[in-house]
Amino acid sequence: MFKSIEMAPADPILGLSEAFKADTNADKINLGVGVYKDEAGATPVLKCIKSAEAKLVDTETTKGYLPIDGNPAYGQAVRELLFGSNSEIVASARAATSHTPGGTGALRVAGEFIKNVLGVKSIWLSDPSWANHAAVFGAVGLEVKKYPYFDKASNGLDFQGMIEGLKSVGKGEVVLLHGCCHNPTGVDPTVEQWEKIASVVAERGGLPLVDFAYQGFGVGLEEDAAGLRAVAAKNKELLVCSSFSKNFGLYNERVGAFTVVAEDAEAVKKAQSQVKTLIRRIYSNPPAHGGAAVATVLADDALTKQWHDELAEMRERIAKMRQLFVDELNQRGVKLSDAGNQFIVDQCGMFSFSGLTKEQVDVLKKEHSIYIVGSGRINVAGISEKNVGKLCDAIAVVAGAAV
């Protein structure tokens, strides 16, 4: 039977890492997968996590199973980060959180909940969106629809197009919104635009699903939550998929969360009972270590302060690399849009939608050993003072002085 199986195509993002590893060029550059890297090209373990892990080693007494939805202390910490420790949602206990295997695990649980518990048949995604969104939701049988998001002419948000698209959302349909640091574009709505988005979704009777994988990588932990909180203020029911892969550097620990917000505490208890039934069928219960490390940090004022400082350092390095990238492009006379390269500085978070075409990206990989996602999405965190010159020299060759 197995001999008849065809080889699956490589993942468009993770497959880049496999190709990168096989490349023997000593000067190769990986700007594909969304992993933070420091100036040395390493993905470090945060000091606050090291301290939390040391504490866990000293105090851990069991390797027994966690509850289906994970450690309650972890869930409480997640909700307070999302909505604020003094928020009405937290105080009224009308939200429930499940610890999931990463943000992707949260999205899969969300998809199962949407399709099999709510009976919803379709979900709206931004155009473009993270490549795996359509795959995850398609796998559970949801029809994927798209609303406009990115304006290629301005390299910014097509806000009017987005609003018009959201006005086509049917009652009960799910709308996925990127909470901050939009992947892949790096273009986020303003606070005022978030208010309008939240109102339109509410008026249409849609159910918001906020994918929140980069809290703290944009402007700051509180500032980055403004969009989510605007949505929550206008929509009494919503879903949130969040991740600590990026902001805690816990990529291989798979630390995510699926949070359900309902109109009241009784309704959320019923919803959470169904979520737990779904989880039991998929992975039974979550791994303990990563979530325990996060909960330990967030329960300790000194470790929380250290985390804030380390997160700010990562965020500031990304912003510095954005500016350096633009400066180096400008020095070479390379314009990635008719208006220049300022749009790269204006974008937010780990990624830049560079404007490079798939053909140019292919040449960068084949002739220069520079690995970028086919859409032109660049992981800015992969740029360093050491490799930015080579990167911009190669872009100058494939893109010329004007595109």
- Please list the active-site residues: 130, 211, 246
Q: Which residues are paired to 157 by β-bridges?
A: 150
Contact call for residues 386 and 373 (beta carbons, < 8 A): no
* HEC assignment per residue over the chain: CHHHCCCCCCCCCHHHHHHHHHCCCCCCEECCCCCCCCCCCCCCCCHHHHHHHHHHHHHCCCCCCCCCCCCHHHHHHHHHHHHCCCCHHHHCCCEEEEEEEHHHHHHHHHHHHHHHHCCCCEEEEEECCCHHHHHHHHHCCCEEEEEECEECCCCEECHHHHHHHHCCCCCCCEEEEECCCCCCCCCCCCHHHHHHHHHHHHHHCCEEEEEECCCCCCCCHHHHCHHHHHHHHHCCCEEEEEECCCCCCCHHHCEEEEEEECCCHHHHHHHHHHHHHHHHHHCCCCCCHHHHHHHHHHCCHHHHHHHHHHHHHHHHHHHHHHHHHHHHHHHCCCCCCCCCCHHHHHCCCCEEECCCCHHHHHHHHHHHCEECCCCCEEEHHHCCCCCHHHHHHHHHHHHCCCC
What six digits make up the tokens of 225? 């939550």
How far is Cα 143 from Cα 134, in angstroms, rounded to an integer?
Answer: 9
Question: CB 62: neighbour CB atoms within 10 A?
Answer: 6
Residue with tokens 């939550």: 225
Residues composing the chain: 403
Question: CB 122: neighbour CB atoms within 10 A?
Answer: 16
